[in-house]
Amino acid sequence: MNNLDLLTAITVFVLSVLVGVEVISKVPATLHTPLMSGSNAVHGIVVIGAMLIAAESHTWPGYALAFVAMVFGAMNVVGGYAVTDRMLEMFRARPGEKKDG
Per-residue pLDDT at 100: 61
Residue range 7-26, pLDDT digits in tens: 998 999 999 989 988 887 88
Tens-digit pLDDT profile for residues 58-84: 899 888 988 998 998 888 888 878 877
Rounded to whole angstroms, the Cα distance separating 1 from 64 reads 13
